[in-house]
């Protein structure tokens, strides 16, 4: 199956077979050039992969599975809301636009929902009835699987785990325009902004993580991020009892001190009955592509 993952920085694509992705390719996202330019870029990448598939003797894919940034209504195949990271993305009829170019079946899902589904079906979630995935990167997103079913929510925003209040984030601004949310403190951007407030210096999240062993300010930011994320995870354990928590995203590379702080935060917040819930790092590469294909395979239209 052909799959594409549309993000704010890059568009990735490939041919998905189970948890394997062949002909993997990517292009930069023209994020500020408008929806038409972005869809053209995505379709250009998809067409390139199709051409490579045909050249290698393979069949033309009959289904295009898409994971996309933004709040996605997978029933209508439409972007219902989005941040300014992709200009004009909200309201885009993504499925219809791509179907007009592809000429066949297209299925669309939010990118973190797709990541969650891929990790559940083919990664750490195998053998578990329920799972919570938290993706901590530039922002913080997530997804819930309950009794084997991906939870989308009434407005398709289920899994916005970065936008819950947490101890330590009082008055800290969040990307959603509110304050006090865990994303404002524990995301990669949050770590960078915390370091800037403490020192007046701008550094990347990776630089701050590398400095944490020798720089007290860097260490304080990394520990605060880990503890805040851990406390929010404890709250989710108390509320949903998922049985497994999977951590993904660039922030998980912040090091052992960050991970220890996550566990400290969980211990401070989680009830005894759920405090020993397994916390594991994500397993799959290209999980969003894999999950988008899983979604499309389950929900594809009956062909005549």
Mean pLDDT of successive 10-residue stretches along the chain, which has 304 residues: 95 97 97 96 97 96 96 97 92 97 95 97 96 95 96 96 93 91 96 97 96 96 97 97 96 95 98 97 96 94 46
**Do 58 and 176 share a domain, yes or no?**
no
pLDDT score for 151: 97
Does residue 76 lie in a domain region? Answer: yes
Which residue segment(s) compose the domain that 43 sits in? 2-115+286-299
Does residue 122 lie in a domain region? Answer: no
Name the H helices within the chain.
Answer: 35-55, 94-102, 111-122, 183-186, 188-199, 205-211, 216-240, 256-269, 287-299
pTM of the model: 0.93
Q: What CATH code is carried by the domain that includes residue 69? A: 3.30.420.40
pLDDT score for 85: 86
Dist. CA 96–CA 235, nearest whole Å: 39
**Do 170 and 71 share a domain, yes or no?**
no
**Do 107 and 77 share a domain, yes or no?**
yes
**Do 96 and 234 share a domain, yes or no?**
no
The terminus-to-terminus CA distance of the chain in angstroms comes to: 18
pLDDT score for 84: 85
pLDDT score for 122: 97
**Do 153 and 234 share a domain, yes or no?**
yes
Instruction: Provide the token pair at 218.
Output: 């860097």
pLDDT score for 189: 94
């Amino acid at each position: 199956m052909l799959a594409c993952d549309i993000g704010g920085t890059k568009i990735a694509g490939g041919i998905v077979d189970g948890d394997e992705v062949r002909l993997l390719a990517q292009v930069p996202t023209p994020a500020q050039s408008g929806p038409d330019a972005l869809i053209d870029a995505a379709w250009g990448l998809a067409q390139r992969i199709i051409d490579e598939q045909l050249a290698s003797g393979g069949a033309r894919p009959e289904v295009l599975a898409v994971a996309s940034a933004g709040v996605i209504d997978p029933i209508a195949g439409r972007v219902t809301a989005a941040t300014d990271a992709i200009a004009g993305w909200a309201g885009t009829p993504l499925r219809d636009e791509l179907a007009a170019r592809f000429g066949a079946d297209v299925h669309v899902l939010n990118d973190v929902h797709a990541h969650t589904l891929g990790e559940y079906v083919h990664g750490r979630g195998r053998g578990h009835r329920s799972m919570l995935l938290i993706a901590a990167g530039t922002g913080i997103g997530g997804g819930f699987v309950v009794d084997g079913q991906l939870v989308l929510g009434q407005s398709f925003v289920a899994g916005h785990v970065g936008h819950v209040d947490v101890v330590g984030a009082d008055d800290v601004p969040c990307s959603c325009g509110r304050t006090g949310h865990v994303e404002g403190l524990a995301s990669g951007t949050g770590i960078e902004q915390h370091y800037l407030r403490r020192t007046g210096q701008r550094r990347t999240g990776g630089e701050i993580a590398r400095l944490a062993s020798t720089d007290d300010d860097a260490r304080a930011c990394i520990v605060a991020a880990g503890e805040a994320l851990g406390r929010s995870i404890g709250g989710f354990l108390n509320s949903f009892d998922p049985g497994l928590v999977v951590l993904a995203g660039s922030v998980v590379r912040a090091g052992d001190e960050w991970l220890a702080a996550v566990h400290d935060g969980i211990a401070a917040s989680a009830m005894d009955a759920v405090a020993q819930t397994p916390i594991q790092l994500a397993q799959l590469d290209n999980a969003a592509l894999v999950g988008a294909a899983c979604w499309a395979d389950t929900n594809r239209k009956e062909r005549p």
